[in-house]
Amino acid sequence: MLKNPATKYRPYPPVQLPNRQWPNRVLTQAPSWCSVDLRDGNQALAVPMNVSQKLELFEALVNCGFKEIEVGFPSASNTEFAFNRLLIEKGHIPDDVTVQVLVQAREDLIEKTFQSLVGAKKVVIHLYNSTSPAQRRVVFGKTKEEIKAIAVQGAKFIQERLPRLEGTDVTLQYSPESFSATEVEFAKEVSEAVMDVWQPTPEKKMILNLPDTVEVAMPNVYADQIEWVCTNIRDRDSLIVSLHTHNDRNTGTAATELGLLAGADRVEGTLFGNGERTGNLDIVTVALNLYMHGIDPKLDFSNLNAVREVYERCTGMTVPPRHPYGGELVFTAFSGSHQDAIKKGLAEWARGVQPHWDVPYLTIDPSDIGREYREVIRVNSQSGKGGVAYLLESEFGIELPKDMQREFGPIANDLVDTLGREVSGAELKEMFWKEYVERDQPWSLKHFHADGTSGTFRCRATVLHDGQEQALTGEGNGPIAAFVQALTKAGVPKFEVAYYKEHALSEGEEASAIAYIQIKMPGGKSRWGAAVDTNIEHASIKAVLSALNRAL
Can you tell me the mean pLDDT for 437-444?
Answer: 94
Phi-psi region of 251 (alpha: psi -120 to 50; beta: other; left: phi over 0): alpha
Residue 423: what pLDDT?
82
395 and 417 belong to one structural domain: yes
468 and 533 belong to one structural domain: yes
259 and 177 belong to one structural domain: yes
The larger pLDDT score, comparing residue 381 to residue 102, is at 102
**Model confidence band, residue 552 (pLDDT cutoffs 50, 70, 90):** confident
**Inside any domain, residue 89:** yes
Residue 356 exposed, middle or buried by CB count within 10 Å (0-12, 13-18, 19+): exposed
301 and 386 belong to one structural domain: no
**Model confidence band, residue 474 (pLDDT cutoffs 50, 70, 90):** very high
134 and 57 belong to one structural domain: yes
Residue 15: what pLDDT?
96
Residue 378: what pLDDT?
62
Among 402, 435, 468, the domain-final residue is 435
Measured CA to CA in angstroms, residue 150 lies from 68, 112, 197, 279, 420 at distances of 27, 18, 13, 28, 62
Residue 93: what pLDDT?
98
Q: Which SS3 state, helix, strand or coil, does residue 443 take?
A: strand
Q: Tell whether the torsion through CA atoms of 77, 79, 80 and 86 is positive or negative.
A: positive
**What are φ and ψ of residue 26, in 5° steps?**
-130, 135
346 and 382 belong to one structural domain: yes
Among 435, 454, 484, the domain-final residue is 435
Q: Judge whether residue 527 has pLDDT over 70.
A: yes
**Inside any domain, residue 136:** yes
**Inside any domain, residue 320:** no
308 and 351 belong to one structural domain: no
**Model confidence band, residue 388 (pLDDT cutoffs 50, 70, 90):** confident
Can you tell me the mean pLDDT for 210-218?
Answer: 97
Rounded Cα distance, 219 and 249, in Å: 9
**Inside any domain, residue 1:** no
**Inside any domain, residue 327:** no
Q: Judge whether residue 385 has pLDDT over 90.
A: no
Q: Judge whether residue 530 has pLDDT over 70.
A: yes
Can you tell me the mean pLDDT for 516-541?
Answer: 93
Q: Judge whether residue 381 has pLDDT over 90.
A: no
**Model confidence band, residue 81 (pLDDT cutoffs 50, 70, 90):** very high
Sheet with 468-476, strands from edge to edge, namely 443-453, 456-465, 468-476
Please write the tens of the pLDDT for every residue from 120-140: 999 999 999 999 999 999 999
Residue 78 exposed, middle or buried by CB count within 10 Å (0-12, 13-18, 19+): exposed
Please write the tens of the pLDDT for every residue from 270-280: 999 999 999 99
Residue 80: what pLDDT?
92
Q: Judge whether residue 318 has pLDDT over 90.
A: yes
447 and 493 belong to one structural domain: yes
What is the residue-averaged pLDDT of the chain? 93
Cβ atoms of 57 and 270 within 8 Å: the answer is: no
pTM of the model: 0.78
**What are φ and ψ of residue 216, in 5° steps?**
-115, 0
Can you tell me the mean pLDDT for 16-33?
Answer: 97
Among 370, 403, 435, the domain-final residue is 435
Can you tell me the mean pLDDT for 381-390?
Answer: 72
- Give the structural domain span for 413: 336-435
226 and 352 belong to one structural domain: no
295 and 422 belong to one structural domain: no
Work out how many domains the chain is built from and give that number.
3
The larger pLDDT score, comparing residue 478 to residue 378, is at 478
CATH code (residue 147): 3.20.20.70
Rounded Cα distance, 283 and 304, in Å: 12
- Concatenated DSSP letters for 491-530? TPPP-EEEEEEEEE---STT--EEEEEEEE-TTS-EEEEE
**Inside any domain, residue 531:** yes
Please write the tens of the pLDDT for every residue from 148-159: 999 999 999 999
Please write the tens of the pLDDT for every residue from 161-187: 999 999 999 999 999 999 999 999 999
CATH code (residue 456): 3.30.160.270
Residue 371: what pLDDT?
87
Rounded Cα distance, 190 and 287, in Å: 31
**Model confidence band, residue 524 (pLDDT cutoffs 50, 70, 90):** confident
Q: Which of 106-120, 140-154, 337-351, 382-396 has the lowest mean pLDDT?
A: 382-396
**Inside any domain, residue 321:** no
410 and 459 belong to one structural domain: no
Residue 509: what pLDDT?
54
402 and 518 belong to one structural domain: no
**Inside any domain, residue 140:** yes
**Model confidence band, residue 516 (pLDDT cutoffs 50, 70, 90):** very high
